Amino acid sequence: MPIHTPSRNKWSAKRIVLVAMLGTLVAVAVAAVVSMSLSPPHIYFSVEDATIQPAPSNGQNLYAFYNFTLVANNTSRRSSVHYSALSAEIWQNVTLWFPAEVDTPAVVGKQQPPGGLTRVRGWAEFYEYDRATKPSDIVVGDWPNSTVVVVAKVWFKFSLARTRPYNVRVTCAPVNFRDKTTYTACMD
């Protein structure tokens, strides 16, 4: 009695499922490689040269300028960084903060090359209206462990490809405005 062998031209259900699974695996691997190669690089911020510049008081009003340098480090070897916006805030505690001015023309609209460092000056003015009515825990210059919050809107460019804009928010703490030699790395 002759044995019937299936024709090699016909695909069995097992072969179809196996090819579909291998095709899906290859598609996932290609998508992962493309996603990792086009993902934005990390930008690391840090604060250095934090100082206090006291201003003369007239007996009732007391104010001071808090100066710092914000350092942006593009760690990518291929992508350049473009900044659309950059701002900073100085926080003394969870309820008391004030905005800082940042030299935005130094970065906004300009390209930070791969592996490049960009230094941006920042400053803030803290002004106490009346020493008699100010809260007792606030003293100008007595901020050994302040926090600087940096907010940036960036996009990355690799050759002709450009990513969508990303919002980056990092916290730099502790920043000691009395010790100029400190260097504080910021965290996401």
pLDDT digits (tens, 9 = 90+) for 128-177: 544 444 445 555 545 557 889 999 999 888 878 888 888 999 998 888 88
pLDDT of residue 83: 92
Measured distance CA(13)–CA(16) in Å, rounded:
5
pLDDT of residue 158: 82
> Global pTM?
0.70
* Helical (H) or strand (E) element with 149: strand 146-158
Extended beta strands in 55-116, E state: 62-74, 80-91, 97-102, 111-112
Supply φ then ψ for residue 105, to 5 degrees: -60, -20
Q: Which domains does the chain have, with CATH numbers?
A: 41-187 (2.60.40)
pLDDT digits (tens, 9 = 90+) for 46-73: 998 888 887 666 655 567 788 899 999 9
Q: Are 68 and 47 in contact (CB under 8 A)?
A: yes
pLDDT of residue 180: 65
pLDDT digits (tens, 9 = 90+) for 83-124: 999 999 988 878 888 899 999 888 888 889 988 899 999 998
